[in-house]
């Protein structure tokens, strides 16, 4: 049997069997790979820089809004912008990641029922890319149909996974609803049987039975996690939900431990002990968005506050000092990037992925 440390991959975007090996290596090695939502080349490059610096692999992820922003807010068609922005970002990562010397997973984030056509359009672009290059454009796409009835959620995931698997693409599904800003569900109701806040292991078992014969997939399960950052005490994480789901599948299907590939959404501000516990239960991917938005904004904001005149005058009206070196966007955008890199240093350490890159 090969151990995780023996697997080596070519730097660049990782897909198909290599991605599956990376997921397994993380689960076997007891670490989690950060998945960072990006909105432009500044954030992509900051993620690549931080991954290289920390010798960690990383997941670069686009929400539909991030993809639209990537294409440009002035782009005439919003749906096309969501599609082309994601394709453009993916192409940038395909070109650059190999030269940064790290392994990168390319992912898309939440797509509810209304956004299934977005995922299908990206699959179509991916199929063309696959015919031309012999490899997928995106490693994996997320479908979040957790607001639909379970049967409908799973049937639609099965339909998309069949298509995705034909070109070595994985999918991430969501069972139970992650609370927070995106859908207005908090965690005041602390009832373990509430299927919206806490994914039911029986539902995960159903997903496993339907989807595992079709292709590779991962599961974002709700265990009290909430999108965004809230006052302490608001989030009651119950990672034992993950453990119970893993054990149910393991027992019913006589698999090795942690058969499911689990994803942690809404982890900003979580206690380290709960993160560590989740990692033991097969969480290979943790989404980080809110904390990195703040890190970028904080880096830029600090500079603007320290140099307010440079953002009002090209030349100081009293001292006649030219401010070109300060208002040059490269100066302050770089500080945003550095803010992200510093916060990612923490993430790679907390998730224990630092030094574990499979790239060689
Ligand atoms: Zn999420």
Summarised one tens digit per residue, pLDDT across range 128-145 is 999 999 999 999 999 999
- Residue 319 resides in a domain: no
- Residue 312 resides in a domain: no
CATH number at residue 283: 3.20.20.70
State the distance from the centre of ligand 1 to the C-alpha of 283, rounded, in angstroms.
14
* pTM, entire model: 0.93
Report the number of distinct structural domains present in the chain: 1
- pLDDT, one tens digit per residue, over 52-107 is 999 999 999 999 999 999 999 999 999 999 999 999 999 999 999 999 999 999 99
Q: Is 189 a catalytic residue?
A: no
Boundaries of domain holding 201? 8-298+340-350
- pLDDT, one tens digit per residue, over 265-297 is 987 778 899 999 999 999 999 999 999 999 999
State the distance from the centre of ligand 1 to the C-alpha of 329, rounded, in angstroms.
31
State the distance from the centre of ligand 1 to the C-alpha of 230, rounded, in angstroms.
15
- Residue 210 resides in a domain: yes
State the distance from the centre of ligand 1 to the C-alpha of 115, rounded, in angstroms.
14
- Residue 130 resides in a domain: yes
Catalytic residue among 18, 57, 77, 109: 109
- Residue 91 resides in a domain: yes
- Residue 309 resides in a domain: no
Flag whether pLDDT at 235 surpasses 80.
no
- Residue 318 resides in a domain: no
Please count the other Cβ atoms lying within 10 Å of the Cβ belonging to residue 120.
16
- Residue 330 resides in a domain: no
State the distance from the centre of ligand 1 to the C-alpha of 227, rounded, in angstroms.
6
State the distance from the centre of ligand 1 to the C-alpha of 7, rounded, in angstroms.
29
State the distance from the centre of ligand 1 to the C-alpha of 187, rounded, in angstroms.
15
Flag whether pLDDT at 190 surpasses 60.
no
Alpha-carbon distance values, 195 to 150, 178, 191, 201 (Å): 10, 11, 9, 10
Rg (CA), the chain: 21
């Amino acid at each position: 049997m090969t151990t995780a440390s023996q697997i080596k991959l070519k730097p660049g975007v990782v897909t198909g069997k290599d991605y599956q090996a990376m997921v397994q290596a993380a689960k076997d090695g007891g670490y989690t790979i950060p998945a960072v939502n990006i909105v432009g080349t500044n954030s992509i490059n900051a993620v690549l820089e931080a991954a290289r610096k920390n010798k960690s692999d990383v997941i670069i992820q686009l929400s539909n809004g991030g993809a639209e922003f990537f294409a440009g807010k002035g782009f005439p068609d919003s749906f096309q912008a969501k599609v082309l922005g994601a394709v453009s970002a993916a192409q940038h990562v395909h070109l650059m990641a190999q030269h940064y010397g790290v392994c990168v997973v390319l992912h898309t984030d939440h797509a509810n029922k209304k956004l299934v056509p977005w995922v299908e359009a990206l699959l179509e672009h991916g199929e063309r890319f696959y015919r031309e290059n012999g490899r997928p454009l995106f490693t994996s796409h997320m479908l979040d149909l957790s607001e639909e009835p379970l049967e409908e959620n799973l049937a639609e995931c099965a339909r998309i996974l069949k298509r995705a698997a034909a070109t070595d693409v994985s999918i991430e599904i969501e069972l139970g609803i992650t609370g927070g800003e995106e859908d207005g569900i908090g965690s005041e109701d602390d009832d373990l049987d509430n299927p919206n806040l806490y994914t039911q292991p029986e539902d995960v078992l159903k997903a496993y039975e339907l989807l595992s014969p079709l292709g590779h997939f991962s599961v974002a399960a709700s265990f009290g996690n909430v999108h965004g950052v809230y006052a302490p005490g608001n989030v009651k994480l119950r990672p034992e939900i993950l453990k119970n789901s893993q054990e149910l599948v393991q027992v019913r299907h006589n698999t090795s431990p942690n058969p499911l590939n689990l994803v942690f959404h809404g982890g900003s501000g979580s206690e380290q002990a709960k993160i560590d516990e989740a990692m033991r239960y097969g969480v290979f991917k943790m989404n980080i968005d809110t904390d990195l938005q703040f890190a970028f904004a904080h880096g830029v904001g600090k500079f603007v506050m320290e140099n307010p005149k440079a953002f009002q005058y090209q030349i100081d009206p009293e001292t006649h000092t030219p401010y070109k070196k300060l208002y040059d966007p490269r100066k302050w955008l770089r500080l945003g990037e550095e803010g992200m890199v510093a916060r990612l240093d923490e993430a790679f350490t907390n998730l224990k992925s630092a030094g574990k890159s499979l790239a060689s």
